[in-house]
Chain A
Amino acid sequence: MRNLGIFVLFVLLMVFFAGCGGQKEMVKMEEKPKPPEVTGEQATEQPTPTREEIIETPLEEQLKLGMIHFEFDRYRLLPEFKLVLEENARKLKMYPNVKIMIEGHCDERGTIEYNLALGEKRARAAQEYLINLGIDPSRISIISYGKESPLDPRHNEEAWYKNRRDEFKITSY
């Protein structure tokens, strides 16, 4: 009985995720340290967007500026995320009117005040890297949310990894 219950729950979850795995959700999925075929499968299940949907899709989702992650209590850019930043820089050059805000975030460990400062260091690290790649400094502002705005509310390594991040938000275009 118990096994059957779990199986039914599993099937329901599968149906649920297949139904509502929107674009924004996928962006998050891509950055997870997970096997890539998961996102691949979901992508094939996505219906082809209509013309109206493309027009209504916010620029943020069209641009899909990739999120980057950090080590615990560190703000240095890891090699794999330098590649993400280079891709982001390429997209920003394609849309020269777009201005962005880089949000620096931390995991829940450590104090509120220290994490505010650490989050700003993380945002600034990405800002400087983009400037070095030729993006005009006036197009990039930064803000730190410290540990106040986690992506994943759980208290484990996976959640902490997700939450130590820079997000790239479009402020004007």
Chain B
Amino acid sequence: MRRDSIFPKRLYLFLFFCVFISWLHVKSPLAQTEIHVKMPVGGAEPMDIGVAELVPEKGEFSQEEKELASQITQIVRDDLSYSLMFYVAEIDSFVMDVLEWNWLNFDGWFKLGMQTILTGTFKLEKNGLKVRVSLFDVFRDKKIFSKVYRTKETNLRGLAHAISNDVVYNLTGEKGIFSGKIAFASTREGNKELFFCDYDGHNVQRLTNDQSINLTPRFSPDGEKLIYTSYKEGNPDLWILDLKEGKNHKISSQIGLNSAASWSPDGKNLALTLTRDGNAEIYLIDDKGSVKKRLTHNWSIDSSPTWSPNSKQIAFTSDRAGSPQIYIMDSDGANLRRLTYQLDYNDSPVWSPRGDKIAFVTRTNTGFDICTIDLTGENLRILTSGGNNENPFWSPDGYHLVFSSDRTGEYEIYTMNWDGSSQKRITNGGGNYNPTWSSSF
């Protein structure tokens, strides 16, 4: 599956070019030219894309403009590289100068092994940033899209992520994940409040000020609302936070637990754990909190429901067989089956947005680790090791996972690729738990 070490031939050619140029000139472009090699995902071959530095719209950059332009370029490169859909070649203006090419020299790009080239201009205007980018298809000698982006200077990262999203969408037809948010619970300010940040950990913002314990946030399918369990009024009730308006209200306050809620992808139902009938069972409610149906009937703990992407099935945890294991049922409670048999304590299932896998947490000799398993019960993979690794959640495109881990001694939020590679910490300061990921904001 992995092909980290296999460079496409064209990239060797590119490397050769770089060496050639460094021979021509004292300054080594190799030092500025990085090549990221990615494993293919979902059977699709990553695409070679050259991302050129933004150049001045007119004349020369001021020092400030130069720095801003270079930040934007780097964020776009990092995004595209993170997506696993591209091999990103970083092309700087120095290379261009030496080659004496212009951006439309498709023959030259083709020889360098680029399938697509992203170029652009930058200008610092009075009221903010202006970027114009163009994406070219080298094979077909044509422009794929061209677009002007304008934003406040404080939203530089947002602008860069918007460019990356458009590149991904235009080349793959999939929605880019770069404008999504990762929400999590954190004790950084004392109480356990909810926060969110960009997928890369930037732009952290506090969302609640409930002075209480807030747990298990989950986004609505449109990413505009967040449901969570809060002890704000004493009992663990289910609350909903409107992210656009910044207002929250209680939606389910049955006696006992109102916890581990999860919104169906079609937006019609919420599945959650209630203990109002004397035991932890899974129920469907509407977004006003009315109970529509009780789905489990077993004198054991049934919790942590997660929806299939088509909203027709629900996976959940139950200890009905003596220890927590993952089960799957239809969204009306029928056709119950057990998914996990191999490990003796499995919990926190989350269904991949691609539909084929479920990620969960297992207890090992050293602590807790994140696993994935196919819906057939095959291909069990343990993706983490060291410390406790908990609360997995999929990226909206199903190519990444976010989770919490205390591997450094403190609980922090991490992301990784679907196969466990590229584990990266995105928070600091400790006390960060329970991440969840939205497709857009």
Contact = CB atoms under 8 A, between A and B. Distances in A.
Contact of B348 (A111, A145, A146, A148): A111
Interface string B172-207: 000000000000000000001000000000000000
B213 A145 contact: yes
A145 B231 CA distance: 9
A146 B260 CA distance: 12
Contacts of A112: 215-216, 391, 433-434
Interface residues of B, number: 38
A121 B368 contact: no
Contacts, number: 82
Contact of A114 (B235, B275, B279, B347): B347
Interface residues of A, number: 21
A117 B348 contact: no
- Scoring B279, B303, B345 by chain A CB atoms within 10 A of each residue's CB, the highest score goes to B303
Contacts of A145: 213, 231
Contacts of A144: 236, 256-257, 275
A113 interface: yes
A111 B235 contact: no
Contacts of B368: 109-110
Interface in A130-147: 142-146
Contact of B301 (A121, A143, A148, A155): A121
A85 interface: no
Nearest to A155: B406
Nearest to A117: B280
A73 interface: yes
B391 A111 contact: yes
A120 interface: yes
Main secondary structure of the interface of A (DSSP, over half): mixed
A84 interface: no
A124 B406 CA distance: 31
B352 interface: no
B317 A116 contact: no
A118 interface: yes
A113 B280 CA distance: 10
A150 to B, nearest CB: 12
B348 A120 contact: no
Interface of A: 73, 109-114, 116-118, 120-121, 124, 142-146, 148-149, 155
Interface of B: 192, 213, 215-216, 229, 231, 234-236, 256-257, 259-260, 273, 275, 278-280, 301, 303-304, 317, 319, 323-324, 345, 347-348, 361, 363, 367-368, 388, 390-391, 406, 433-434
23 contacts: A73-B345, A109-B367, A110-B345, A110-B363, A111-B304, A112-B433, A113-B273, A113-B304, A113-B347, A114-B301, A114-B317, A116-B236, A117-B257, A117-B273, A117-B275, A117-B280, A117-B301, A120-B256, A121-B301, A144-B236, A145-B231, A148-B215, A155-B406
